[in-house]
Amino acid sequence: MGELEVKGKLAKEASRFLALASTKQKNAALAEMKNGLIAHYETILSANEKDLANAKQNGIADTMLDRLRLTEERIHDMANGIMQVAELPDPIGQVDNMFQNEAGLTIGKKRVPLGVIGIIYESRPNVTADAAALCFKTGNAVILRGGSEAIHSNTALVAVLQQGIELAGFPKTSIQLVEDTSRETARDLMRLNTYLDVLIPRGGARLIQTVLDTATVPVIETGTGNCHVYIDQDADFEMATRILVNAKTSRPSVCNACETLLIHETVASELLPVIEKALAPFHVELRADDKARSFLTNSVPATEEDFATEFLDFILAIKVVASEDEAIAHINRYGTGHSEAIVTNNYFTGLKFQNEVDAAAVYINASTRFTDGFEFGFGAEIGISTQKLHARGPMGLHELTSTKYIIFGEGQIR
Amino acid sequence: MGELEVKGKLAKEASRFLALASTKQKNAALAEMKNGLIAHYETILSANEKDLANAKQNGIADTMLDRLRLTEERIHDMANGIMQVAELPDPIGQVDNMFQNEAGLTIGKKRVPLGVIGIIYESRPNVTADAAALCFKTGNAVILRGGSEAIHSNTALVAVLQQGIELAGFPKTSIQLVEDTSRETARDLMRLNTYLDVLIPRGGARLIQTVLDTATVPVIETGTGNCHVYIDQDADFEMATRILVNAKTSRPSVCNACETLLIHETVASELLPVIEKALAPFHVELRADDKARSFLTNSVPATEEDFATEFLDFILAIKVVASEDEAIAHINRYGTGHSEAIVTNNYFTGLKFQNEVDAAAVYINASTRFTDGFEFGFGAEIGISTQKLHARGPMGLHELTSTKYIIFGEGQIR
C-alpha cells in the first residue's frame, strides 16, 4: 500500500470518529490546535526558514517568497483564525424539513460531514491551518497536499495541529499531510475515490485545470475569477469610477478583482478619460479595443486573449459595447462565472443584468470585491466555488457538509 | 465540430433561454409535450417495434425486452408523468436567506437552473420522457444519451417532445438526443466540460463505474444499492420478518431492495427459521455464513463477494453478528451508502445505528423500500444519489438546481 492508500484508509477511519464528536469536543480540540501553534511557533519558523532558503536557492520570485514566509505575527493570525472557526455555529446535526410522509414515516434531513476531504493547494502555508480548522470543525477528516516549496513549513504545522487534536482525544489522522509532493502523487490523490469524498483545489488557473482534467473524485472548482464591471449608459459617473477603481486596484491579486471594464458607447467618450485619470496613481496598464483607445491617452490594443485572461495584476482590459445585451453576451462568453457587476441607475437594466449574467455573484451598483465568505457574513471561507454543483460562490462551513435522511418508522412496509 | 460539440453549443444557448422562462411558459410547453406523446403514439410504437425486432434478432433476454417495450398504456403513463411534473411547484426563482451584510449590501441566494445536464441511461425508453420533463421544468437544457437498443424509440420520442416545446415557443435544442450511441461518443460526452454542467448516469453498477472512471464533467452518482436490514436482539419478531420480507421481495430489481440480512446471534436460532419460512413462497435463494446456515434448512455458503454484491434478484445474503457494532462495521464496509434499516425496540440501539451508519437514508423500524422521491413526497425523482456532494438520497426538482447570489448595492466599495 502506498502512502496515499494508507493515509486514505486512516482518514476514513478518523472520519467515522469525527462524525460522532460533539461540538464541545471539536471546539476543545480547536483550542488545543491554537495553543499548539502559539507554543511551538519557533519550531514552525525554523522549518519555514528551510523552505525560504530552498526557495531563494531556486531563484523564486519575491512575491512568491512573501507568500511562503511565516512570521510570529502570521502564526498568531493563524491561531486567531482557528479560534474564530471554533466560535462559529456548528452546522453538523441540524435537521431540516422534518416531516411525516403518507405512510406515516417521520423523515428528517440531517446535516452530516462530507467524510474525507482532500485539499490541494500552492505555496501559502497559512492555508494549512485554515483548511484544517474548517474541515475539523465540520467533522471531516482532511488530507492536505501543499506545494513542495512549503513542505517543511507544512510538515511542522501539521505535526503541531495533530498534537493538539490528540491532546483533545481525537485521532491525529483526522488531519494528514501528503509528504510526497511529486506530481504523480498529486495525480493519485485526485483519483483516490475509495477514500476521498471530495477534492478542493485552491490555487491558480493551471492547478484548477489539471484537477478538472485528472480528478475522478468529486471536485469543487474554486477561485478562477475573470470578473467584469459593466458601466451602463444610465450610470452615475462618480459611482461608476469609484466601483471600477476599487474592483481593479484594491487587491488585484485576488479572484474577485475586476479584469475587464465594459462600458456603454454613449458614455465612453466622457467617462473613459475620467477613469484613466482615476487609475493613473495605481499605474494600471490599459488594454483596450479600438473604440476605447480613441478616448484614452495611454493604452495598448487588447487582444482576444486579454479578454479571456485573469491578469491578477494592475492590468485592465477595456471594451466599448453598443448595448447591455452585448455586455451580457461578452461576460457569458469570457467570464469564469465568479463575480460580475453592473453600474446603472436604471431599474430594469439592473435586473436584466442580474437575471441574465451567469455567475456565482451578480452585483448591481457594488464592487465585485465583496465576494468573500467574511464579507458575506459566513465567518469563514474555504474558497469560492465557480461551479454549479453543490456550492456556488463563497463557501463557509455549511458547504463542507452533506446530509443524511433519518427515518423513524413503526414497522411500515411498502 | 463533432455531433457532441454542436449539440453542446446549442444546448448552452437554449439553457440561456430556458433560465429566463416563466413557470407558466414552461408548464405550457410540458402540456404540449404531453399532447404530442398522446397524438403521436402510433409513430412512437412503430419506432419501438424496430428496436424490439433488432433486440430479438440479437437474442436479448426477455426481461430486457420487457424493459424496452412500449405500449399505448406505457405512453399514456409517460404523458401523465409529464403532467405531474407540470403540476409540481417550480423551485426556480426562489430566494433563500436574503439579508443585509455589514457593508449594507442586500444579498440573496436565488435558485437557478444548473444549465446543461447530460443524462446517460440504459434500455428503458420511459426515462427519455421522464428525464426530459424534469430537466425542462427546472429550466435546464438536457442532452440525453440512451442505449443503442432503444435508439429508434428514443429518436421518435425526442422528436415528439421537441415538436411540443417548439409549439410553446421554446428552442427545440432544449431537449436533444445523442444519435451516435457508440462507446466513444459516450466517453466524449462524459468529458464535455465546456458545455455540460453536470452528468447524471442512470443504470447498473457497470455504467456508474465507467462514468466515475471516465468523467471530467461533475457527476451525480446514482442508484447502486447494496442495502441491509439489521435485526437487533431487541427486535419485534413479527415486525422484523415483515420488514425483511418486504425489503427483499416486494421488488427485488430496484436499488432500494434489501440484499443482505444481518441478524444478532441471540435471536438467530429462533428467528432465522421463521424468516426462511416467510421467504419460501418467493423462492429466495439464501446465501448464508456458517452460523446462519446451522439454523436454515436450505441455504448455500455465502462468499465474501456475495456480501459485496447488489443481486437485484431473489437472492439474500445472511450474516449472523455478535453485536450492533459488528453490524454497523459490516454495513459501512460493504454498503454502497444507499438505504439501511435496523429493526429494534431499543431506543439507544436504534439511534446509534442511525448515527453511525453512513448512508443516504437510515431507517429505524421500516423497510428500505421507501427510499424514493415519490414516497418522500417530492412528487418526482430523477434518481437516488449515493454520493455526498450536491445531493444525497432521492433527487427531486430541487436537486436539479443551483444558486446564484444576487446583490443589491448603493455604490458600496470594499
CB contact under 8 A, A377 and B412: no
Q: From B378, which residue of chain A is nearest by alpha-carbon distance?
A: A101
**A351 found inside a domain:** yes
Q: Would the pLDDT of B21 be above 80?
A: yes
**Helix (H), strand (E) at residue B393:** strand B393-395
| A218: nearest CB among B105, B218, B363 | B218
Give mean pLDDT, residues B233-253. Answer: 97
Is the same domain home to A397 and A341? no
Is B361 inside any structural domain?
yes
Most B CBs within 10 A among A107, A258, A325, A338, hence the mutation to make, goes to A107
- Which helix (H) or strand (E) segment is A70 a member of? none
Distance from CA of B196 to the nearest CA of A (A): 11
- Considering CB atoms only, which of A107, A375, A402 is closest to B101? A375
- Give the largest CA-CA distance in chain B: 80
Model pLDDT, residue A96: 87
What residues of chain B lie within 8 A of the CB of A278, using their CB? none
Q: What is the pLDDT averaged over residues B32-41?
A: 98
pLDDT at A208: 87
pLDDT at position B160 is 98
Q: Looking at A58-62, A190-194, A348-352, B117-121, which range is the least confident one?
A: A58-62
pLDDT higher than threshold 80 for residue A383: yes
Domain assignment present for residue B377? The answer is no
- B chain contacts of residue A236, beta-carbon cutoff 8 Å: 411
Query: What is the pLDDT, as a whole number, of residue B258?
Result: 98
Beta carbons of A372 and A393 less than 8 angstroms apart: no
Same domain, B102 and B240: no
Q: Which residue has the cell 412500449?
A: B70
Residue B297 lies in a domain: yes
CA-nearest of B228, B180, B187 to B207 is B187
Q: How far is A257 from chain B (nearest CA, A)?
A: 11
Q: Do B361 and A405 touch (CB under 8 A)?
A: yes
β-sheet with B175-177: strand ranges across: B175-177, B141-145, B116-121, B198-202
Residues A108 and A153 in one domain: yes
A-chain CB neighbours of B329 within 8 Å are none
Chain A interface disruption, residue of B390, B398, B403, most A CBs within 10 A: B390
Q: What pLDDT band is residue B366 in, cutting at 50, 70 and 90?
A: very high
Q: Please name the residue of chain A whose CA is at the shortest distance from the CA of residue B191.
A: A213
Among A390, A398, A401, A410, the strongest candidate for a mutation testing the B interface, having the largest count of B CBs within 10 A, is A390
Q: How many domains does chain B have?
A: 2
Letter for the amino acid at A323? Answer: S
Indicate the residue of A193, A390, A411 with minimum beta-carbon distance to B239: A411
Q: Are residues B101 and A220, on separate chains, in Cβ contact within 8 Å?
A: no
Domain assignment present for A213: yes
Q: Is A297 exposed, middle or buried (0-12, 13-18, 19+ CB in 10 A)?
A: exposed
- Inform me whether the pLDDT recorded for A290 exceeds 80: yes
End-to-end Cα, chain B, rounded Å: 44
pLDDT at B81 over 90: yes
Kindly state whether residues B231 and B321 are assigned to the same domain. yes
Task: Enumerate the H helices of B21-139 as residue ranges.
Answer: 23-39, 41-57, 62-68, 72-87, 126-137
Contact A377 B404 (CB under 8 A): no
Q: What is the mean pLDDT of residues A36-46?
A: 98
Which of A351, A320, A356 lies closest to A335, judged by CA? A356
State the helix-helix crossing angle for B126-137 and B23-39, rounded to 10 degrees. Answer: 160
Instruction: Report long-range pairs for A48-57 (Cβ below 8 Å, ≥24 apart).
Output: A48/A125, A48/A152, A48/A153, A48/A156, A50/A152, A51/A125, A51/A149, A51/A150, A51/A151, A51/A152, A51/A153, A54/A149, A55/A149
Q: Which residue has the cell 506530481?
A: A183
Please check whether residue B154 lies inside any domain of the structure: yes
Residue B60, pLDDT > 90, answer no
Q: Which residue of B has its CA nearest to A244?
A: B413
- Same domain, yes or no, for A211 and A238? no
A26 in the same domain as A43 = yes
Query: CA distances (Å), A398 to each of A381, B67, B356, in order?
Result: 10, 41, 21
* A379 assigned to some structural domain: no
Q: Looking at the predicted structure, is the pLDDT value of residue A187 above 80?
A: yes
Segment A74-107, tens digit of pLDDT: 999 999 999 999 999 999 999 988 999 999 999 9
Q: What is the band of B79 on the pLDDT scale with cuts at 50, 70, 90?
A: very high
Q: Note the pLDDT of residue A60.
A: 87
Q: A123 pLDDT exceeds 80? A: no
Indicate yes or no: CB of B193 within 8 angstroms of CB of A215: no
| Domain at A142, CATH number | 3.40.605.10
Is the separation of the CB atoms in A206 and A186 below 8 Å?
no
* Residue found under cell 415486525: B239
A–B CB contacts, 8 A cutoff, strictly below: 203
Chain B CB contacts of A356 under 8 Å are 16, 19-20
- pLDDT at position A179 is 94
| Cα of A329 to nearest chain B Cα, Å | 10
Provide the pLDDT confidence category of residue B205 given band limits of 50, 70 and 90: confident
C-alpha cell at B196: 455540460
Q: Do B414 and A358 touch (CB under 8 A)?
A: no
Indicate if A205 and A243 belong to the same structural domain.
no
Nearest chain A residue to B408, by CA? A364
Are the C-beta atoms of B361 and B250 separated by less than 8 Å? no
> Has residue A389 got a pLDDT over 80?
yes
pLDDT score at B62? 83
CB B205 within 8 A of CB B62: no
Long-range own/partner contacts, residues A1-4 (CB < 8 A, 24 or more apart) = A2/A188, A3/A178, A3/A179, A3/A180, A3/A185, A4/A143, A4/A178, A4/A185, A4/A188, A4/A189, A4/A192
Cβ–Cβ gap A411/B366 under 8 Å:
yes
Chain B residues with CB inside 8 Å of A366's CB? 103, 105, 407-413
Q: Give the number of other CB atoms < 10 A from CB of residue B182.
A: 10
**Chain B: residue nearest A413 by CA?**
B367
* Residue among B239, B367, B407 minimizing CB distance to A363: B407
Residue B243: other Cβ atoms inside 10 A: 28
| Minimum distance, in Å, between the CA of residue B296 and any CA atom of chain A | 25
Q: Are B35 and B58 members of one domain?
A: yes
Which of B241, B228, B257, B243 shows the shortest CA–CA distance to B369?
B257
Across the interface, do B361 and A20 touch by the CB < 8 Å criterion?
no
On whether both B241 and B213 belong to a single domain, the answer is no
Q: Which of A197-211, B105-119, B241-255 has the lowest mean pLDDT?
A: A197-211
Instruction: Examine the domain organization and report whether A361 and A293 are in the same domain.
Output: yes
CA-wise closest residue to B204 among B268, B160, B253, B263:
B253
Instruction: Pick left, alpha or beta for residue B169 (phi over 0 → left; psi -120 to 50 → alpha; otherwise beta).
Output: left
Q: Which chain B residue lies closest to A386 (C-alpha atoms)?
A: B404
Q: Which residue from B384, B358, B374 is spatially nearest to B256, judged by alpha carbons?
A: B384
pLDDT of the residue at A118: 97
Q: How confident is the prediction for chain B on average, in pLDDT? A: 96
Q: Are residues B207 and B259 in the same domain?
A: no
Cβ neighbour number for residue A236 with a 10 Å cutoff? 16
For position B270, what pLDDT does the model report? 98
User: Quick one: closest CA in B to A198, which residue?
Assistant: B389
Cβ distance B388 to A376 less than 8 Å, yes or no, reads: no
Crossing angle of the two packed helices A41-57 and A151-167, in degrees rounded to 10: 160
User: What pLDDT, on the 0 to 100 scale, is given for residue B63?
Assistant: 78
Average pLDDT along chain A: 96
- Comparing alpha-carbon positions, the chain B residue that sits nearest to A214 is B216
Q: Which residues of A touch B99 (CB under 8 A)?
A: 377
What number is the average pLDDT over the span B164-192?
Answer: 96
CB contact under 8 A, A413 and B246: yes
Provide the pLDDT confidence category of residue A295 given band limits of 50, 70 and 90. Answer: very high
Let me know: does B365 contact A409? Beta carbons within 8 Å: yes
Per cent of chain A over pLDDT 70 is 100
Q: What is the mean pLDDT of residues B331-351?
A: 97
Higher pLDDT, A242 or A64: A242
**Rounded to a whole number, what is the distance in Å from the CA of A100 to chain B's nearest CA?**
9
Domain that holds residue B57: 3-221+387-408
Q: Residue B236: what pLDDT?
A: 98
Q: In this prediction, does ipTM exceed 0.90? A: yes
CB A407 within 8 A of CB B361: yes
From B323's Cα to the closest Cα of chain A, the distance in A is 18
Domain with residue A240: its CATH number is 3.40.309.10
All residues of chain A having their beta carbon less than 8 Å from the beta carbon of residue B246 are 413-414
Stated length of chain A: 414
Listed range (A249-258, B69-78, B197-206, B308-317) with the worst mean pLDDT: B197-206
Between chains, do B242 and A411 touch, taking CB under 8 Å as contact?
yes
Q: Within 13 Å, how many C-alpha atoms sit on residue B156's CB side?
A: 22
For chain B, give the percent of residues with pLDDT over 90.
Answer: 91
CB contact (8 A) between residue A361 and residue B101: no
pLDDT band, residue A124 (cuts 50/70/90): confident
Angle (CA) A152-A154-A159 rounded to 5° is 100
* Residue in chain A lying closest to B251 (CA): A414
Tally Cβ neighbours within 10 Å of residue B262: 25
pLDDT at A148 over 80: yes
Tell me which chain A residue has its CA closest to the CA of residue B362.
A406
Are the beta carbons of B405 and A388 separated by less than 8 Å? no
- Angle B284-B285-B286 (CA atoms, 0-180°, nearest 5)? 110
Picking from B193, B375, B409, the nearest residue to A103 by CB comes out as: B375
B246·A414 Cβ contact <8 A: yes
Q: Are residues A24 and A160 in the same domain?
A: yes
Q: Kindly indicate the confidence band of residue B203, based on its pLDDT and cuts at 50, 70 and 90.
A: confident
pLDDT on residue A61? 85
The reported pLDDT for the residue numbered A167 is 98
| Residues on chain B touching A96 (C-beta within 8 angstroms) | none
- With respect to residue A87, please indicate whether it lies within any of the assigned structural domains: yes
Measured between beta carbons, the chain B residues lying within 8 angstroms of A218 are 218-219, 387, 389
Q: Which residues pair with A120 in a beta bridge?
A: A145, A201
CB atoms within 10 A of CB A68: 21
- pLDDT of amino acid A57: 94
Comparison of pLDDT for B62 and B43, the residue scoring more? B43
Q: What's the DSSP call for residue A102? A: T
C-alpha cell, B125: 425508453
**pLDDT given for residue B64 in this prediction:** 84
C-alpha atoms less than 13 angstroms from C-alpha of A169 in its C-beta half-sphere: 10
Of B226, B254, B204, the C-alpha closest to B330 is B226
CB B383 within 8 A of CB B200: yes
Interchain CB distance below 8 Å, B364 and A19: no
pLDDT higher at B205 or A141? A141
Instruction: Choose from A351, A404, A408 for mutation: most chain B CBs within 10 A.
Output: A404
Q: Closest approach of chain B CAs to the CA of A5, in angstroms?
A: 16
Interchain proximity A412–B355, CB inside 8 Å = no
* Averaged pLDDT, B92-104: 95
